A and B are shown apart, each in its own frame.
Chain A
Amino acid sequence: QVQLVESGGGVVQPGGSLRLSCAASGFTFSSYGMHWVRQAPGKGLEWVAFIRYDGSNKYYADSVKGRFTISRDNSKNTLYLQMNSLRAEDTAVYYCAKDLTGGEYAFDIWGQGTMVTVSS
Chain B
Amino acid sequence: SSELTQDPAVSVALGQTVRITCQGDSLRSYYASWYQQKPGQAPVLVIYGKNNRPSGIPDRFSGSSSGNTASLTITGAQAEDEADYYCNSRDSSGNHLYVFGTGTKVTVL
Contact = CB atoms under 8 A, between A and B. Distances in A.
A52 to B, nearest CB: 9
A47 B30 contact: no
B89 interface: yes
Contact of B97 (A47, A95, A100, A104): A47
| Main secondary structure on B side of the interface with A | strand
B88 A59 contact: no
Interface stretch (A16-24, A76-84, A105-113): A105-113
Interface residues of A, number: 22
Contacts, number: 69
Given A35-B98, A50-B96, A113 B42 contact: yes
Contact of B33 (A57, A62, A104, A112): A104
Given A47-B99, A61-B97, A106 B86 contact: no
Nearest to A52: B96
Given A45-B100, A47-B88, A59-B97, A106 B42 contact: no
B61 interface: no
A49 to B, nearest CB: 10
B43 A106 contact: no
